[in-house]
Amino acid sequence: MFRKFIILRLICESYVFAFQSIKTNKTRTILSLTGITIGIFSIISIFTVFDSMERSIHSSIDSLGDNVLFIQKWPWSMGGEYPWWKYWQRPEPKMNDLKQIQKRSQTTAASTLMLQVSRNIKYQNTTIENIQIAGVTHEYNITMPFDLQQGRYFTNIESNSGSNVVIIGSKIAENLFGQADAIERRIKIFGRKLTVIGVIKKEGEDLFGNSSDDIAIIPYNFARTVLDVKNISSTLIVKAKPNISNEQLKDELTGIMRSVHKLKPSADDDFSINETDIISKGFDDMFGFIAGIGWIIGAFSLLVGGFGIANIMFVSVKERTNQIGIQKSLGAKNYFILLQFLFEAIFLSIMGGVGGLVIVYFLSLIVSGSIEGFELVLSSGNIILGISVSAIIGLLSGIIPAYLASRLNPVEAMRSSF
């Protein structure tokens, strides 16, 4: 109980001394704490920006589904040399590949074949250029779910027969029809008229610039009647059954695809099975590297700030030498004096750190209000990090002045005058 009282008294006295130091020497203290403020601002602002970006990126990646695999000609890669010459002669996924997966796979919940091209869309006298047209088989809405604000998805008959129907994004609907109902209107793509049966719910762009707001989805079998699908990049999208891991699904798909393509045991795969985890790991590595740069930038300011805190504490020890002598003559132990100055150094450093956090907080509000679709958030983890780093800098900066104060001879200290 007595020890708790001593610690509480130390904290209270250090708090008072820290404020007295600021009050008595405002300019000196503020200039000395500026280094800590700038250092914490540099580190936490970088972490806040990249934490927010990472959260948005992972959200965009997660929207693709963590139990979905993409069978393609080209493998995904994040950084490093890309040996394109090994892949350019590979075949594109075909309808037969999809049929064999649907026939043989025991781990697949749904699968679809998708191709994408850019074309103009026309309605009466209005034309929208370079719109992404996705030709998909029937289970696309299961493998890559999306919400409709109007209308419906393709029926089995429409998908299998290749009916001239289309589902469009909300941005396309607004540009073509304004506020009018888009359902059952006839638009022209590939020089053919298609009936709008659905409008995708507005969602905005992700950090990659992708959005379903300006995409048009048509049945794959209709796309085959107007396009040479053999020469268009395609993707097989496969969704795993519940409780089936990506590794299990990948192993099974690899076996099926090698069998369908009649590859010899010694031959390399002529396809790639990609998953969103590749992108996530690539961005994690990138953000880890950038975080390291953030620490280096902030470290210089923190170093300057640390010297500023040490300077304040050396001056404080000198100013209060007589007071230290009186405390020691009245029975104050060395550790009491040591902790008193350490607590003061930590308090001063935390004040500087809090100043940096306040600047980051207000900047995050300004940025979030200025950039549509991007929210910059100062997380509790970064607040704790900022205060912790400030406290550590204060501890390291104050240890030598506090030690010197604790070792003062009480008689000589009381005779001292500043």
Is residue 273 a part of any domain in this protein?
no
Domain stop point among 240, 259, 291: 240
Look at residues 240, 270, 303 and tell me which one is the last residue of a structural domain. Answer: 240
Whether 294 and 411 share a structural domain:
yes
Could you tell me if 332 and 388 lie in one domain? yes
Number of domains in the chain: 2
Determine, yes or no, domain membership for 259.
no
- Judge if 38 and 140 occupy the same domain: no
Q: Are residues 112 and 218 in the same domain?
A: yes
Predicted local distance difference test score (pLDDT) of residue 208: 53
- Specify the pLDDT at position 15: 63
Residue at a domain's end among 208, 240, 272: 240
Residues 234 and 334 in one domain: no
Do 48 and 133 sit in the same domain of this protein? no
> Which H, E and C letters describe the chain, residue by residue?
CHHHHHHHHHHHHHHHHHHHHHHHCHHHHHHHHHHHHHHHHHHHHHHHHHHHHHHHHHHHHHCCCCCEEEEECCCCCCCCCCCHHHCCCCCCCCHHHHHHHHHHCCCEEEEEEEEEEEEEEEECCEEEEEEEEEEECCCHHHHCCCCEEEECCCCHHHHHHCCCEEEECHHHHHHHHCCCCCCCCEEEECCEEEEEEEEECCCCCCCCCCCHHHEEEEEHHHHHHHCCHHHCCEEEEEEECCCCCHHHHHHHHHHHHHHHCCCCCCCCCCCEEEEHHHHHHHHHHHHHHHHHHHHHHHHHHHHHHHHHHHHHHHHHHHHCHHHHHHHHHCCCCHHHHHHHHHHHHHHHHHHHHHHHHHHHHHHHHHHHHHCCCCCCCCCHHHHHHHHHHHHHHHHHHHHHHHHHHHCCCHHHHHHCCC
Residue 75 inside a domain? The answer is no
The answer to whether residue 4 is domain-embedded is no
**Domain presence at residue 255:** no
Residue 358 in any domain: the answer is: yes
Q: Both 49 and 128 in a single domain?
A: no
**Residue 207 confidence (pLDDT):** 52
- 286 and 226, same structural domain? no
The pLDDT value recorded for residue 373 is 60
Tell me the residue range of the domain where 221 lies.
108-240
Confidence (pLDDT) at 344? 78
Residues 46 and 132 in one domain: no
Whether residues 227 and 297 share a domain: the answer is no
Give per-10-residue mean pLDDT for the chain (418 aa): 62 64 65 77 79 69 70 79 81 92 92 93 90 93 89 93 93 89 92 93 67 88 89 90 89 92 90 77 69 74 78 77 75 76 82 87 81 73 87 87 81 66
Q: Do the domain assignments include residue 312?
A: yes
| 286 & 411 share domain | yes
In terms of domains, do 312 and 390 share one? yes
Residue 95: the pLDDT is 92
In a domain, 149, yes or no: yes
